[in-house]
Amino acid sequence: MRALVTGCQGFLGPFAVAALQRRGFAVVTTARRGGDAAVDLVGRGMVDAVLEAFAPDLVLHLAAQSRLDACERDPAAARLVNVVLPAELAGRLGSRLLAVSTDLVFDGRGAPYGERAPVAPLSVYGATKAEGEERVLAAGGRVARLPLLFGPDAHGRGASASLRRALLGGQTVPLYTNEYRTPLHAADAAAGLAELLPLCSGPAVVHLPGPERLSRWQFGQRFCAVHGLDASRLVPVECQDPLRPRDVALVGSWRAERSFATMLAEA
């Protein structure tokens, strides 16, 4: 089967491509800069052009505007990418589309969140992702919500890579003690998405939580212990940002095969 991965140049993209290839998919990719087709999918007619050119059996939609500050600065642009684009894909593909969303569609006041929990976003990013989910589901598409992802990619991106870089550079690193997530290694997230993609008759909304609920401060402490880094440079701080929910721990039927300790060892 042929799988199209959008947003292939993002942090999760290479992990997803590798996971799909391991499962025997013929993978084609697109991104604004790179991939098999370097196109901006929000451009007029570009969705139809890409689908016609590649004729994919299934589409894993990763492309998004995920920077909170960028979404706040330009809500209209964020809505084009996070709402209009996935809605258009779902309208063409129905259940053959698996669109990736986020734990930040929740407000942090009702954790842990199951797959049927009502959304209540605090930020423009969360609001556009929530609206994108609604449009995808209304068109018969499927949604996979992901937590905070970590694990270094080839470009040194990711929460663990930036933390390691800062500590090795002698910097102090402030980490929130009151913001809780269910962190997941990007390789495990990609494996889960590759498993879910062909299940067109499966659940409409699936959560892919990491094995443990942790604050960013706890994550940093555990990461330093595993990798022999100086944890004294971690500075505990409380998040005061009204746009960031305090606890968006996810629960669901999907379970990661690896333990959090094993994931951290490869981060």
Give the integer Cα–Cα distance in Å for 195 and 16: 11
Catalytic residue flag (residue 176): no
HSE, side-chain direction, 13 A CA sphere, residue 11: 22
Structure tokens at 205: 């909304």
Residues contacting 218, CB < 8 A, separation 6+: none
- The catalytic position among 113, 125, 176, 180 is 125
Tokens of 104: 């930040």
- 142's enclosing H/E stretch is strand 142-146
User: Can you list the positions of beta strands (E) in 12-96?
Assistant: 26-31, 37-38, 58-61
Farthest-apart Cα atoms in the chain, separation: 55
* C-beta of residue 22 within 8 angstroms of C-beta of residue 194: yes
48 is written with which tokens? 């139809």
8 A C-beta contact, residue 154 and residue 14: yes
Q: What CA–CA distance (Å, rounded) separates 245 from 102?
A: 12
Whether the CB-CB separation of 27 and 45 falls below 8 Å is answered with: no
Residues annotated as catalytic (active site), given as ranges: 125
